[in-house]
Amino acid sequence: MAKILIVDDDPHIRDVVSFALTQASHEVLAASDGEAGLARALADAPDLVVLDIVMPKLDGIELCRRLRAKSTVPILFLSSKDDEIDRVIGLEVGGDDYITKPFSPRELVARVKAMLRRQALDREAPAEPTKPPKLHGALELDSERFRVRFAGRDIVLTVTEFAVLDALLSQPGKVYTRSELVDRAYEFDHHVTERTIDSHVRRIRKKFDAGGEPIETVYGLGYRLGLATEPR
């Protein structure tokens, strides 16, 4: 059972999502606007947030941005617009996935389950790792502790960003198509577009900043982890 916060100004949507998640044995919290949602998220520390985009007082994009400054909690966006730019913007400010309205409650529960299973990589990590971290130059990725370090400093990634980087690190130098990265990063859920991967890669690059981030774009094909170099 997980604690899940629903932030949506539509009471019908809140009721539908709440019923579906409660039936799946989750504890459900709810807020009817962005400001209340942010306060609830910071006070109650949910395991996952289901977040509408268009809301009064504070929209979902800004709420996500503020929450991301303090937390890496998985965020699933709800969008009333079938518009790719809304989805991309949401993921670029820190969302982990999205689903458009109208949606199937069963599909939403499946998305939530997939995100929570990826998040469990951190919670289920043993006190002492049973396998060594993956190393690539100054980059270190520990899948059991859900930890990424580069040149001695921690890089804080969301669960999906971590999965993308882990996939690339599994075979450094191999060019992964966007479709292959979807399969690897969304092991339990394939209801995403290839554009989603572009958004996550951009966010990973920003987090590495100018320190020598290793992800390279292979135009017309996809992405690969570059040469194992020391940071600039």
pLDDT exceeds cutoff 80 at 51: yes
**Of 9, 47, 2, whose CA–CA distance to 26 is shortest?**
2
Question: Residues 85, 113: one domain?
Answer: yes
Residue 95 lies inside a defined structural domain of this protein: yes
Residues 2, 76 contacting (CB under 8 angstroms): no
Question: Residues 90, 157: one domain?
Answer: no
Question: Residues 99, 140: one domain?
Answer: no
How would residue 232 be classed by pLDDT, with cut points 50, 70 and 90?
very low
Which of 123, 143, 172 terminates a domain? The answer is 123
Indicate the residue type of 39: A
Residues 137, 214 contacting (CB under 8 angstroms): yes
Residue 9 has a pLDDT of 93
Q: What CATH number is associated with residue 44?
A: 3.40.50.2300
DSSP of the chain, one letter per residue? --EEEEE-S-HHHHHHHHHHHHHTT-EEEEESSHHHHHHHHHHH--SEEEEESS-SSS-HHHHHHHHHTT----EEEEESS--HHHHHHHHHTT--EEEESS--HHHHHHHHHHHHHHHHHHHT--SS-SSPPEEETTEEEETTTTEEEETTEE----HHHHHHHHHHHHSTTPPEEHHHHHHHHTTT-----HHHHHHHHHHHHHHHTTS---EEEETTTEEEE-------
Question: Residues 63, 29: one domain?
Answer: yes
Residue 221 lies inside a defined structural domain of this protein: yes
Number of domain units in the chain: 2
- Per-residue pLDDT averaged across 31-56, rounded? 93
Residue 16 has a pLDDT of 94
Measured CA angle at 213 (ends 207, 218), to 5 deg? 115
- Per-residue pLDDT averaged across 181-197, rounded? 67
How would residue 33 be classed by pLDDT, with cut points 50, 70 and 90?
very high
Residue-wise pLDDT for 112-168, tens only, equals 988 888 777 656 655 555 678 888 888 889 877 778 888 888 887 777 788 889 889
Question: Residues 112, 160: one domain?
Answer: no
Question: Residues 15, 58: one domain?
Answer: yes
Question: Residues 152, 49: one domain?
Answer: no
Which of 69, 95, 123 terminates a domain? The answer is 123
Question: Residues 141, 206: one domain?
Answer: yes
Mean pLDDT, the chain, integer: 82
The larger pLDDT score, comparing residue 16 to residue 120, is at 16
pLDDT exceeds cutoff 60 at 188: no
- Per-residue pLDDT averaged across 45-68, rounded? 91
Which of 123, 147, 181 terminates a domain? The answer is 123
CA 27/CA 58 separation, integer angstroms:
24
Question: Residues 113, 9: one domain?
Answer: yes
Residue-wise pLDDT for 63-103, tens only, equals 999 998 888 899 999 887 656 556 666 777 888 888 888 88
Residue 35 has a pLDDT of 94
Question: Residues 163, 214: one domain?
Answer: yes
Residue 129 lies inside a defined structural domain of this protein: no
Question: Residues 115, 159: one domain?
Answer: no
The larger pLDDT score, comparing residue 160 to residue 171, is at 171
Residue 81 has a pLDDT of 66
Question: Residues 184, 217: one domain?
Answer: yes
60 CB neighbour count, 10 Å cutoff: 25
Indicate the residue type of 45: A
Q: What CATH number is associated with residue 205?
A: 1.10.10.10
Q: Domain residues for 100? A: 3-123
Residue 20 has a pLDDT of 95
pTM for this model (two decimals): 0.65
In this structure, the strands spanning 215-218 and 134-136 are unpaired
